[in-house]
Chain A
Amino acid sequence: MFVLLLVSLGILTAFAVPAVLADRERVFDDRQASLPPPGAASVFQHSTIQELWQDRPITVVYLAEVSPFATAPPGIERMPEPGEYFVSPALATLSESDRSVAGLLPGAPIGEITEEGLLGPDERIAYVGVSSSRLPEGAPGVGWGSGWADDLAQRDRGTAPAVMLLVLPAALGAMWLCLRLAARSTVKRWSALRILGVRRSQVLTGAAIESALPCLLGSLGAALLAGVVLSRLAVSDLLGFTWFHGRAGFGWEYSLGFCALMTLIGACFGAGGTRRALANPVRGRQDHREPSPRWWHLLPLAAGIGIVLPPLLTRPPAEAGQDVTAGSTFSWMLVGGVAVCLIGLLWAARPITWGLARMLDRPQVALPVRLAARRVGDAPGAHLRSIAAIALLVLVAGANEGAEETFAKLYSQDGGAVVASFDPAQIPDVATRELLWERTPEPKWVDQLSGAGQGAVLVTASCTTLESLGIRGQDCAEGEYYAARADRCHLGPAPRLPAGSEHAFDSESGAPIVVTVPDAELSVDDPHFDCNTVIFTGDAPPFGWGAWTRVSAVLDAGAGSALEYRALLYELAPGLDLATSRADLNQDQWARQATTALGFALWTAFGFATLTFTMALADRIAFRRRDSTALMVLGVRPSQLRASQVVEVGLGIAGAVGLMYACAILFGSVLIKLGDARETIAWRLAPALTPYVATAAVVAIAAALIVGPNLRSEDMRRE
C-alpha cells in the first residue's frame, strides 16, 4: 500500500503540472500590453527590459505618457507616475541589497505587486513610471491582456507533456509491478480454492476486492498528502519555476475521480491475475517456465542500428551549413532507425542477457558465478523485468542529454554569455563615449561597416581579446591588419575578402579611409564575427568613431555583470539603446525551466524505477529463498550466496542497462544530429550518462546485498 501511495502521489504531481503551467500562461497573457487598433491613439507607452541576476530574470516594464484613462496591469492598483514604481516582493528585497538592481528602478516605490499579477512568489518584476524622454522607443498600448499567448506560454505547453511522459510510465510501471506481484502471490491460493469448488465469479470478485482495497487506500492517502507535497513543491523551485499553490490546485472532485480510477485499475489487475487459476487450476499451482530466446530476436535491433548509423556518421560538406532538412530522407532515416531500434531493444535484451549468462556458465568459473549465470540463463525475461524500469530510464536519460544539448545550442548560441552592443553615435559627447569604451569590460571590440555598401566589416580588437574569443592564426601583433579566415560565421556563409582588395571606411570626420585586405590571416571560429571581415589589432578604432560603428562586449550572464553594465550605461547615457543578443530572455527562461522540469521529472522517474526494481528484486530473492536455503544447508556461505545474487543482478545490468547505455548514446547523438548536421556519434554523452548507470549499478548491488538470506527454520519447512 505504501508503494501505491507513492505511485498515486507521483501521478497526482505529474497531473498538477499542466494546471500550474496553464495558470502561469493566463497571468502572463493578462499582463501583456495590448496594441491600439489601427488609427486609434495609445493611452500609454511601454518598454520592457529583462536582465539576468544569478541566472534568474528581472523584468522591468517602463511606462510613460500614461493617460488618466489607462487601466493598470493586473496586480497593481494604478499606473505609476514618473518617478514611482510598483515592485514585486522578491524584487523589492533584492533591490534593497543590490545597488546594480536598484539602478534599474529610478524613483520611489509606491506599492507591491499582488499575487494576481505574478507568475510565482519569487518573480522579480517592476512597473516603473518614467518621463517620455527616458522612453524614446516605447511601444504604444491601450490596455492589458493581449488575447494571444506569448511564446513562453506556448513553449511551456511542451514541458507538461514531457514531464508526464517521464513520470507517468515510471509510476505506472511501479504500480503494474506491485499489483502483478500481488496477483502472482495469490494465484496458487485461488487455484486451490477453485479445485475445492469455489465458483469462477467468487474468485473474480474476491481477487478484485483484494487488489482494489490497497489501491483505494493508497490513492486516498495520496490525495490527502498531495496538497502538502504540491504546496512545498510550489515554492521549492525544483521544477525550475515557482507558483502560487492556492491558485493552481485541483478540486476534491478531481481527487475523488482519481481514487475511483485507481481502485478500478486495482480491481481489474486483481481479477486479471486470476486467469491462470481460472483457466487451469492444476497448472495454476505450478511455476511458470520461460521459453528460450532465439538468435533472430537480435535482427530488429541490428536492422535499426544499420539504418541509423550511415546518416549519423555522414558529415555534410562545410558549405551545406548545419541544418537537417525536416522530412528529408536523411532525417527520416535517423528517426525511423531510432523507432526500429526501440522495437529491436525489446526483442534483443533477452538473447543478449542470455548470451552473457551462457558465457559465464563454464565449469572453470566459480560456483556462485556459475549458479547466477545458470539462473539468468534459465529465465532472462524474468531478470530483465526486474531491471527494465532502470534500463529504460538510462535510455531516456541519454535521449534527454541529447535534447538538452540541442536546446542549449538553439537558445544559448553564446554559451551562456550576453553580447551587448550599442551605437556610440547616439552619444554626442566624445568624452562620455571614450569613458564608456574604457569602462566596457573585456572582451570587447568595435566593428565598422565599410561605406558604399561594399559589404566588408572592420573589426578592431586587441590580440588579448581575440585570443579570449578563440581566434587563432599566425602570431598576433598589435597594430596590424589581418584577413579573417572563417569556417563558421555569424550570418551564414559569406564570400571571403580577397587579399589585396580595397574597402573604404568612414573616419570620425566622415572622410573615407581605404583599407587593403592583407595576406596575413587569422582563423575566426567565433560566431560573433562575419566571414567578410578585416581585423585590426588595437585598443581603439584606427579612424576614430566614424559612421556605422558599433561597440560590442561579451558579458558574463550569470554573475550580474550585464545588469551592472546596463546600470552603468543608463547612468552615463540615459536613453541609450543597448541591444543584447539575449534580449529574449523568455527563450532562455523557457529552456531553463524545461531543462529543470525535465531533470526533476527524470530523477522522479528514476526514483520510481528504483522502487520498482527493488520490489522486483526483493520478490525474486524471496521467491528463490528456498533454493538459497538448500545451498546454505550444504555449506554454501552467505557471502557466496550474496556474491551469486550480485552476479545475477550484475548480469542483467551488464546486459540490459549496458545495451540501453549504448543505445542512449546513439539516440542522444541522433537528437544532436537533427539539430546540427555536422555532428556524428556524440561520445561526449557517455560521461553524462555515467551517473545514471552508476546509480543503477549501486542500487542493484545494494539491493542484492540487503535482501541476502539468513538461514531460518521456516525456510526449511517441508511442503
Chain B
Amino acid sequence: MLSASGLALRYGSTVALRSASVTVAPGETLAITGPSGSGKTSLLYCLSGLVVPDSGSVLLDGVIDVHRLTDWERSDLRRSRFGFVFQFAELVPELTLRENVELPLSLNKVSHRSRKSRVADLVSRFGLEDCADRRPATVSGGQAQRAAVARAMAHRPAVVFGDEPTGALDGESGEVVLGAMLAHAEEDGAAVVLVTHSDLVAARADRVVAVRDGETRSLCRCVSLADCFLGPDRPAGSDPPASCSCCC
C-alpha cells in the first residue's frame, strides 16, 4: 500500500530523519513510536506527502511516488485517499461538527444525497448527535476529537494517518476514539499509521516501528506486542525490551 525508503529530512541544521524506511500493508495498523524529537512526526508528514523530504521516496500502491507529484496532485491525493487525525482535533472553527465531517465529501464532490446519509451515519456512530450542529470551540475535547476521526473516515480513505490522536484525551475518551477509529478502518479496509507515545495505543497496532535519531527499527511480534509494551516491570514510555526486537 505505502512504502517509504531512505527518507532524510533536515530543518536547518537539525536532522529530523536520517535514513528512514517503512512499509504499510492494506488494512494494516502501524504504530510509530519513539522518544520526543526522534523524528516520528516528521516521518508521518513525509509518508503522507505533507512535507517533502530532502531525499528518499514514498510509493503508494507501488507505483505512485508521492513526492514526485505536483502540489495540486498531492492535494488531490490527500483529499481522496488519505485521512488525518491530529492530537488537537484541528477542526475548521467556522464550521459545525457536522459540516466538518461533511468537508472531505464536499471536497471530493460526493453527491448531496450520499453526503447527507454518510454524515448522518458517522454522526450517529461516533455519538455526536447532541453536538453535531455546534462549533468546535463550544464542544469538549473528546467530542471534537471524535468529530476529527469521523471526518478522517468520512470519504473512506485508503490510509488514515494519526498524529497522537489520543494524546490530548483522558484514558477513557482516548480508548473510545481509538476504538472507533480502528474499528472503522478495519471495516473499510483502510491502513492506519499512528504516531504515538502511548504503549496502550502501540499495543493495539499490528506492527510497531520505533524511530530513534531519525532512523527506523521494526519491532515485531516475537511474543506478543502487549507483552513487549505492557510488561509489568517496564516504566511507561520507555523502549521495549531487546527481546521484542530480536525476533524480527
| B106 contacts chain A at the CB level, 8 A cutoff | yes
Please encode chain A, from 614 to 655, with 1 for each CB lying within 8 Å of some chain B CB and 0 for all others. Answer: 000000000000110011111111100000000000000000
Scan residues 249-303 of chain A and give those whose CB is less than 8 A from a CB of chain B. Answer: none
- Smallest distance from the beta carbon of A368 to chain B beta carbons, Å? 11
Q: How far is the CA of A610 from the CA of B80 in the complex (A)?
A: 40
A718 touches B107 (CB 8 A): no
B94 touches A634 (CB 8 A): no
Q: Given A713-B45, A718-B86, A718-B87, do A374 and B75 touch, yes or no (CB 8 Å)?
A: no
A718 touches B163 (CB 8 A): yes
Q: How far is the CA of A638 from the CA of B75 in the complex (A)?
A: 9
Scan residues 55-89 of chain A and give those whose CB is less than 8 A from a CB of chain B. Answer: none
Among A374, A635, A713, A718, the most chain B Cβ lie within 10 Å of the Cβ of A635
B107 touches A634 (CB 8 A): yes
| A371 contacts chain B at the CB level, 8 A cutoff | yes
- Smallest distance from the beta carbon of B211 to chain A beta carbons, Å? 16
Q: Which residues of B contact A499 (CB under 8 A)?
A: none
- Smallest distance from the beta carbon of B46 to chain A beta carbons, Å? 10
Q: Which residues of A contact B42 (CB under 8 A)?
A: 713
| B88 contacts chain A at the CB level, 8 A cutoff | yes
Closest to B90 in A: A630
Q: How far is the CA of A411 from the CA of B45 in the complex (A)?
A: 71
Please encode chain B, from 34 to 47, with 1 for each CB lying within 8 Å of some chain A CB and 0 for all others. Answer: 00000000100100
- Smallest distance from the beta carbon of B190 to chain A beta carbons, Å? 16
| A378 contacts chain B at the CB level, 8 A cutoff | yes
Q: Which residues of B contact A636 (CB under 8 A)?
A: 75, 79, 107
| A719 contacts chain B at the CB level, 8 A cutoff | yes
Q: How far is the CA of A636 from the CA of B50 in the complex (A)?
A: 12
Q: How far is the CA of A633 from the CA of B160 in the complex (A)?
A: 12
Q: Given A367-B106, A713-B42, A716-B45, do A634 and B84 touch, yes or no (CB 8 Å)?
A: yes
Scan residues 75-119 of chain B and give those whose CB is less than 8 A from a CB of chain A. Answer: 75-80, 82, 84, 86-88, 90-95, 103-104, 106-107
- Smallest distance from the beta carbon of B163 to chain A beta carbons, Å? 7
| A375 contacts chain B at the CB level, 8 A cutoff | yes
Closest to A631 in B: B92
- Smallest distance from the beta carbon of B118 to chain A beta carbons, Å? 16
| B164 contacts chain A at the CB level, 8 A cutoff | yes
Among A375, A638, A718, the most chain B Cβ lie within 10 Å of the Cβ of A718
| A346 contacts chain B at the CB level, 8 A cutoff | no
A634 touches B93 (CB 8 A): no
Scan residues 19-52 of chain B and give those whose CB is less than 8 A from a CB of chain A. Answer: 42, 45, 50-51
B80 touches A635 (CB 8 A): yes
A632 touches B92 (CB 8 A): no
| A711 contacts chain B at the CB level, 8 A cutoff | yes
Q: Which residues of A contact B103 (CB under 8 A)?
A: 367, 634
A711 touches B104 (CB 8 A): no
Contacting residue for B78 out of A378, A633, A713, A718, CB 8 A? A633
Q: Which residues of B contact A371 (CB under 8 A)?
A: 92, 94-95
A637 touches B72 (CB 8 A): yes
Closest to A367 in B: B106
B164 touches A718 (CB 8 A): yes
A378 touches B164 (CB 8 A): no
Q: How far is the CA of A630 from the CA of B95 in the complex (A)?
A: 13
- Smallest distance from the beta carbon of A106 to chain B beta carbons, Å? 78
B-side interface residues, number (CB < 8 Å): 32
- Smallest distance from the beta carbon of B222 to chain A beta carbons, Å? 32
Q: How far is the CA of A716 from the CA of B104 in the complex (A)?
A: 19
Please encode chain B, from 140 to 182, with 1 for each CB lying within 8 Å of some chain A CB and 0 for all others. Answer: 0000000000010000000000011001000000000000000
Closest to A363 in B: B112
B106 touches A635 (CB 8 A): no
Q: How far is the CA of A711 from the CA of B72 in the complex (A)?
A: 12
Contacting residue for B104 out of A375, A635, A719, CB 8 A? A635
Q: Given A636-B79, A718-B86, do A630 and B92 touch, yes or no (CB 8 Å)?
A: yes
Q: How far is the CA of A621 from the CA of B90 in the complex (A)?
A: 17
- Smallest distance from the beta carbon of B120 to chain A beta carbons, Å? 15
Q: Which residues of B contact A716 (CB under 8 A)?
A: 45, 50, 86
Q: How far is the CA of A636 from the CA of B78 in the complex (A)?
A: 9
Closest to B135 in A: A378
Q: How far is the CA of A374 from the CA of B96 in the complex (A)?
A: 11
Q: Which residues of A contact B50 (CB under 8 A)?
A: 633, 711, 713, 716
Scan residues 210-248 of chain A and give those whose CB is less than 8 A from a CB of chain B. Answer: none
Among B86, B93, B95, the most chain A Cβ lie within 10 Å of the Cβ of B93
Closest to A632 in B: B75
Q: Which residues of B contact A634 (CB under 8 A)?
A: 78-79, 84, 103-104, 107, 151
| B206 contacts chain A at the CB level, 8 A cutoff | no
| B227 contacts chain A at the CB level, 8 A cutoff | no
Q: How far is the CA of A367 from the CA of B109 in the complex (A)?
A: 11
A635 touches B75 (CB 8 A): yes
Q: How far is the CA of A631 from the CA of B50 in the complex (A)?
A: 12
Scan residues 362-377 of chain A and give those whose CB is less than 8 A from a CB of chain B. Answer: 367, 371, 374-375
B91 touches A630 (CB 8 A): yes
Q: Which residues of A contact B167 (CB under 8 A)?
A: 718
Q: Which residues of B contact A367 (CB under 8 A)?
A: 103, 106-107
| B71 contacts chain A at the CB level, 8 A cutoff | yes
Closest to A377 in B: B94
- Smallest distance from the beta carbon of B154 to chain A beta carbons, Å? 10
Q: Which residues of B contact A635 (CB under 8 A)?
A: 75-80, 82, 104, 107
A374 touches B94 (CB 8 A): yes
Q: Which residues of A contact B107 (CB under 8 A)?
A: 367, 634-636
Q: Which residues of A contact B11 (CB under 8 A)?
A: 713
Q: How far is the CA of A631 from the CA of B99 in the complex (A)?
A: 13
**Shortest beta-carbon contacts, A-B, top 10:** A635-B79, A374-B94, A635-B78, A630-B90, A637-B75, A718-B87, A713-B51, A635-B75, A633-B84, A375-B94
Q: 29 A-B pairs, CB-CB below 8 angstroms?
A: A367-B103, A367-B106, A374-B95, A378-B94, A627-B93, A630-B92, A631-B92, A632-B75, A634-B78, A634-B104, A634-B107, A635-B78, A635-B79, A635-B82, A635-B104, A636-B79, A636-B107, A637-B71, A638-B75, A713-B11, A713-B42, A713-B45, A713-B51, A716-B50, A718-B87, A718-B163, A718-B167, A719-B87, A719-B88
On A, residues with C-beta under 8 Å from B are: 367, 371, 374-375, 378, 626-627, 630-638, 711, 713, 716, 718-719
On B, residues with C-beta under 8 Å from A are: 11, 42, 45, 50-51, 71-72, 75-80, 82, 84, 86-88, 90-95, 103-104, 106-107, 151, 163-164, 167
Can you add 16 more A-B contacts, CB < 8 Å, to A367-B107, A633-B90, A719-B87? A367-B103, A371-B95, A630-B91, A631-B92, A634-B78, A634-B84, A635-B78, A637-B72, A711-B51, A713-B51, A716-B50, A716-B86, A718-B86, A718-B87, A718-B164, A719-B88
